[in-house]
Structure 1
């Protein structure tokens, strides 16, 4: 490139830049605030930990009273009408959810049952079926998982009644569960009807 071509390029550059105005200096210093960044990181980590803990069940693994494989398990919260309980006992409520605990450990069963009940309640589900098995050969005692299901359902505030299922739904190996109405039940029902 000749000196003439260089000067021509330089002249073109300045011609293009003639209406560009320089940026005015700012008296602000842009610093990375490490303290607030660390605090935000800690807040996010605590929030994620809290979300993970919510998925874990608060249900107890202590103090379970054994039931027999062929025992009826049942509960009716005070104030629940006998007609409502009879309808549940007879399997007349539409079962919107079914949870099978087959092949799960006690800890996995506990977490799955807790999640199924709390999620179902949030979605406005009223009745569901828990398949826990009879556990005739279970260890350390017969009906081990069934005994825990009976124990856990009593610990859940969303549960207002439960009863051993009819033979068509599993009999002694399954339990009907009735959940209390969600505070926003009318809104949930409206949404369900709109989607249906």
Structure 2
């Protein structure tokens, strides 16, 4: 407990002292404008609740130029694997043609195509979206495909095709292994090993 004498001494020492003036602080509250990725995640959650599994966006499409080379590589895909994909060195086991499709139909087909590729253990596929030089807006289906494939976790990488496969009007797509294939690879890899 503080003695009265100590308190009096303290008050004498503090005579003439003024509190520091508060400086303006930065407002750290959440921004009022929602980020596009947050909006997309919320839309996905609503669609899943409504029973639709297709979470690919119909809004917020990043427009690209008809002659742009498209490329995407997710984390974990080695540069060597990506280089082989870019060069068209993997066998094309499935193909989807989106020419003359409307956005909604293309969206459904891209989603189902990747789902089917995964189901049937197809690792390398091609999607023909066209350049879209005469579409309005230009390269619309190409832009949609570029945006959608990045939203599908089963897509490991993609790159614009070589000229003989459609060039900038098509994409090579690398798809994750199914769980069944992963298990078969583990068994095959461990078959020759002797554990001590």
Question: 2:79 matched to 1:67?
Answer: no
Distance 1:124 1:64 in 2: 29
Aligned to 2:174: 178
Question: Mind listing any 5+ residue stretches in structure 2 that lack a counterpart?
Answer: 1-49, 186-196
Distance 1:80 1:135 in 2: 29
Q: TM-score, length-normalised on structure 1?
A: 0.66
| Greater share of residues in helix | 1
Q: Where does structure 1 differ by over 4 angstroms across 4 or more consecutive aligned residues? A: 186-189
User: How much does 1:187 deviate?
Assistant: 6.6
Cα RMSD for the two superposed structures: 1.7
- Pair 1:188–1:111, CA change in 2 (3 A): farther
Note if contact 1:123-1:188 (Cα within 8 Å) is conserved in structure 2.
Answer: no
Aligned to 2:80: 83
Aligned to 1:109: 106
User: How much does 1:58 deviate?
Assistant: 1.8
Question: 2:145 matched to 1:149?
Answer: yes
Q: The residue matched to 2:95 in structure 1 has which SS?
A: strand
Distance 1:186 1:176 in 2: 22
Aligned to 1:95: 92
Q: The residue matched to 2:179 in structure 1 has which SS?
A: coil
Distance 2:184 2:75 in 1: 26
C-alpha deviations, 1:39-88, integer Å up to 9, x for none?
xxxxxxxxxx95xx44xx22101111110000011101122110000000
Tell me which structure has the larger Cα radius of gyration. Answer: 1
Q: The residue matched to 1:184 in structure 2 has which SS?
A: helix
User: How much does 1:155 deviate?
Assistant: 0.2
Distance 1:170 1:150 in 2: 16
Distance 1:170 1:95 in 2: 13
User: How much does 1:110 deviate?
Assistant: 0.4
Kindly tell me the number of residue pairs found equivalent between the two proteins: 136
Question: 2:123 matched to 1:126?
Answer: yes
Q: TM-score, length-normalised on structure 2?
A: 0.66
User: How much does 1:188 deviate?
Assistant: 7.6
User: How much does 1:186 deviate?
Assistant: 5.2
Question: Mind listing any 5+ residue stretches in structure 1 that lack a counterpart?
Answer: 1-48, 190-196
Aligned to 1:165: 161
Note if contact 1:159-1:178 (Cα within 8 Å) is conserved in structure 2.
Answer: yes
Distance 1:164 1:90 in 2: 9
